[in-house]
Amino acid sequence: METYLYLTSVVGVYIGIGVFVVGMAWRIYQWSTTPKSPVRLGLFPKPATSTGRGLKMLKDTFVAPHSARIEPVMWGFAFAFHVAALAALIGHGRLVVEYTPLVRLLGGDGMSTFAAWSGGTAGIVMTVAVLFWIARRTYGPFKQLSVPEDYFLLFLLLGIIVMGNHMRFLGHVPVETYREWFQSLLVFRPVMPAEIANSNVGWSLGTHMLFVNVFLVYFPFSKLVHTIGAFSANLVRSE
Ligand code: HEM
Q: pLDDT by residue (tens digit) across 148-161?
A: 999 999 999 999 99
Amino acid letter, residue 152? F
- Compare 43 and 175 and report the one with higher pLDDT: 175
Higher pLDDT, 1 or 153: 153
Helix, strand or coil for residue 238?
Answer: coil
Per-residue pLDDT reduced to its tens digit, 113-150: 999 999 999 999 999 999 999 999 999 888 999 999 99
The sign one gets for the Cα dihedral 63, 67, 73, 77 is negative
User: At 87, is the pLDDT very low, low, confident or very high (cuts 50, 70, 90)?
Assistant: very high
In this model, does residue 219 exceed pLDDT 80?
yes
Range of the domain at 90: 2-236
Overall pTM > 0.85: yes
**Over pLDDT 70: what percentage of the chain?**
98
**Is a pLDDT exceeding 80 seen at residue 238?**
no
160 lines ligand 1 (CB under 6 A): yes
Identify the DSSP state of 40: -
pLDDT of residue 66: 82
Burial 193-216 (b: 16+ CB within 10 A, else e): bebbbebebbbbbbbbbbbbbbbb
Would you say the C-alpha torsion 62, 63, 67, 73 has a positive or negative sign?
A: positive
Q: Return the minimum-mean-pLDDT range out of 5-9, 42-46, 80-84.
A: 42-46
pLDDT per position as a tens digit, 13-57? 999 999 999 999 999 898 888 887 777 776 777 777 878 888 888
What integer pLDDT is reported at residue 45 of this predicted model?
72
CA of 92 to the centre of ligand 1 (A): 6
- Given ligand 1 and candidates 212, 217, 218, which is best to mutate, with the most ligand atoms within 8 Å of its CB? 212
pLDDT reported for residue 53: 81
Domain count, the chain: 1
**Dist. CA 164 → ligand 1 center (Å):** 5
Closest CA to 217 of 20, 10, 6, 12: 20
**CATH classification at residue 59:** 1.20.950.20
